[in-house]
Structure 1
């Protein structure tokens, strides 16, 4: 019997969630509470499944999102998540069918890009996604940092205050909106996200553990940063504390706030190790410490992947570091964003128009996604054979224009 791919009905959601759990190697048990919670916030028209003899054997879901790009603009995106294929149905083209349908629907809706967090590296490049923003996680050996624990907040007149979940739900969205205006790669957070992060909204099957929250306020009293963390309870044989603080979220809109919040977390009594969570690869943290070697890298990997759906709108939405005039031949096997385009940047702005002129560069839409947020190097991609230069100097020109002073950062898993 052929496998049917289609939107999932509400009555089939339990079976879809079971297939999802199976694909992610979680116990394939679904409670009524989880089904109800998922149904309440899923756009069921964007939940797809593959069904074999009535049983769900593959899952795929998308939702509306915005993505901040260099210069502070937001572009509409289709976020891809909950993608699985059951082990009994691998290598049958189910993922390709679901992804192809999802991307075509996104283009028809008018979304500029599609985004995802790739669980495995080799999968999504063939659908036109490129790794656009990486992450790094550090483990900080607090006693080695050289910080003065008696002065947890650096000089400057600001202060750090403990707050509760209600305060976070009030202050957090405003701070996050400001962060997206100054940092590219940031995706939006819904009211539901803030509810789940502060315990006001249950998110089965995940259990809730109340974290600690603190906010940094400038000398003028304005909230400029927020940190959320948890701590374990571990003591050594000699009755010495050996506790680890794990940062769940730290957003700051000024360097002063970022410095103060990291110093604060590293000064909490009994905490000897701080795990930073996923940060930008060029995060300020290691060099905020008197001894940067106290911060040891735990993870360094690709994270946010971007798939351009509308080349003209995508390239015109962002700003550029230098003037450039480039004719780009974008190859897209799916026929969504391909073509030949002239990109002209001046004073940081851009105009992008279809053209019949000879190309300066040829690249797959996958590499365009990798370049889009300014993290990848066009020169390096050319050296790898992934960008073809037809006009001498065009690769360097593209590299200078596309690259950004700070690397993109996506704080959220989705």
Structure 2
């Protein structure tokens, strides 16, 4: 029996309400998450209840690691109680667009924490191995997370698969676009945006490889500009009153359909008046450029800031003065972990016909093996080959996660020493095989 088994126990439970707030187990779990992420504690039971309703709506499973009582480890009265887990973990299912409009169920992982006083005791590994194993047994082919640190999750088989950029665009005088977007833009009432926003995002999600469907807490934050700890929201379907500073606009197509929207706030920072985009979703190039044309024409604003811009941003090319747009940061967003490579690889579309054999190593033994990928008419047949079968390419499962959607170039990863080419031009063939017909992009955090 290892150290974790002796001192700690893992508990899985569903979030629940009790009277005006969360039940004891949920309340203790939420408090531990807030402590780890430096969030404010809930000021009222109503706020705790609203947060609990949203995680119930997402059908999340909560996991906590709890310290067992022992005579040689007395607990001081001022210490956190036994109902506060020293490690937390949550998982739930949403769809991932893997290309061609195919929405694959993905096992999403969030709120992963270990209390600083209990680090280096195997708690994170125990939670992760347990959770991934149960997800694989349940038939889920892929897991995903967004990481607060870039060095934690590769050891568990996760690879960075989508990336976004933070941009600043100078707007102290009117910006001109080289093309004229079709359609119309109008300012909108943020409190009435919810239904239209959800329809637009649904279309965006179904047409954008790399997109993950939004969860209740994300919708609450984006539609109101408020977080759990600052304002209660009745539930995921009933919107709270937005923050008074939140503004919104919509784009309509020439046919009158809403095909894009943006929400934003304007803040004064010394001599700089900064417009920060809270959410921007567009399903057509005209909607995207039309919304940006509005943002860059708003009076008394010196810069527009957006933290989830695509890597290959049409705005850069559309601006008459592209130097007004500056990339200030580039970050990974979604990390993928393949649980069942046969199901995952057969789910996504393919742009060319070819046959490649991949040898995948996996320290958790969930996705390792030699895989023959044969593509015909846009789809793949994947078969496991006997151990020792010669492979065209060799890689770790984390690398396969990075490559899976087609947003990471296998030739680049080969140059980095992460993909090993065993037959001539195999990396170039894999690049062509995994290429998508649209840019890989996602804007959902979880």
On whether the aligned pair clears a TM of 0.5, the verdict is: yes
Residue 196 of structure 1 and its aligned partner are, at CA, apart by 4.5
Which deviates further from its counterpart, 68-77 or 393-402? 393-402
Gaps of 5+ in 1: 237-241
Q: Deviations over 1:290-348 (max 9, x none)?
A: 11111111211211101111111111111123222111112122122222211112333
Question: 3-state DSSP class of the match of 2:334?
Answer: strand
Q: How does 1:228-247 map to 2 (within 5 A)?
A: 228-233=263-268, 236=271, 242-247=272-277
Q: What is the CA RMSD across the aligned residues, in angstroms?
A: 2.4
Whether the aligned pair in 2 keeps the contact of 1:68 and 1:185 (CA below 8 Å) is yes
Contact map agreement 1:23 1:86 (CA 8 A) in 2: yes
Q: 2:195 aligns to what?
A: 170
After TM superposition, which residue ranges in structure 1, 4 or more long, deviate above 6 angstroms?
Answer: none
1:227 matched to 2:227? The reply is no
Deviation at 1:92, TM superposition (A): 0.8
- Which range moved further: 12-21 or 112-121? 12-21
Q: Following the alignment from structure 1 to structure 2, what is the Cα–Cα distance between the partners of residues 92 and 191?
A: 33
Quick check: 89-98 or 160-169, which moved more? 160-169
Q: Does 1:182 align with 2:211?
A: no
Structure 2 partner of 1:102? 131
Instruction: Answer whether contact 2:60 2:90 (CA < 8 A) is retained.
Output: no
1:209 match: 243
Aligned to 1:117: 146
- Maintained 8 Å contact 2:392/2:423: yes
1:66-87 Cα distance to aligned partner (Å, 9 max, x none): 1111222111011111011111
Contact 1:160/1:215 (<8 A) preserved: yes
Aligned mate of 1:264, from 285, 290, 294:
294
1:203 Cα offset (Å): 5.3
1:399 corresponds, among 431, 436, 445, to 431
Whether the aligned pair in 2 keeps the contact of 1:137 and 1:276 (CA below 8 Å) is yes
- Tell me how far apart the structure 2 counterparts of residues 42 and 103 of structure 1 sit (CA, whole Å): 20
Shift in Å at residue 35 of structure 1? Answer: 3.0
Write the deviation string for residues 129-181 of structure 1: whole angstroms up to 9, x where unpaired.
Answer: 00000110101111367428xxxx97455111122235422212221121123
Q: What SS is found at the alignment partner of 1:369?
A: helix
Match of 1:81 among 107, 110, 129: 110
Distance 2:416 2:222 in 1: 41
Give unmatched runs, 5+ long, in structure 2: 1-5, 15-22, 70-81, 232-241
Correspondence for 1:239: none
Pair 1:365-2:378 in alignment: no
- 1:408 pairs with 2:423: no
Counterpart mapping for 1:1-40 below 5 A: 2-8=7-13, 10-27=23-40, 31-40=44-53
**C-alpha displacement of 1:194:** 3.6
Task: Provide Cα deviations, 1:194-229, integer angstroms capped at 9, x if missing partner.
Answer: 4543349x8520346241111111121121111111
Most deviating of 225-234 and 287-296: 225-234
Deviates more, 1:88-97 or 1:41-50: 41-50
Alpha-carbon distance, 1:368 to partner? 0.6
Report the TM-score when normalising by structure 2. Answer: 0.84
Return the alpha-carbon distance in structure 1 between the equivalents of residues 428 and 224 of structure 2. Answer: 49
State the secondary structure of the residue aligned to 1:101.
helix
Residue in structure 2 matching 1:384, options 416, 420, 435:
416
Contact 2:222 2:278 in 1 (8 A): no
How many angstroms apart in 1 are the aligned matches of 2:330 and 2:181?
A: 33
Partner Cα separation in structure 2 for residue 393 and residue 169 of structure 1 = 49
Report the alpha carbon displacement of residue 268 of structure 1 after superposing the two structures with TM.
Answer: 0.8
Distance between the aligned counterparts of 2:341 and 2:257, measured in 1? 39
* Alpha-carbon contact 1:145-1:289 (below 8 Å) kept: no
Q: Aligned-pair distance for 1:29?
A: 6.5
Give the TM-score, by structure 1 length: 0.90
CA distance in 2, matches of 1:325, 1:374: 17
CA contact (8 A) 1:13 1:35 kept: no
Answering whether residue 407 of structure 2 is matched by residue 375 of structure 1, we say: yes
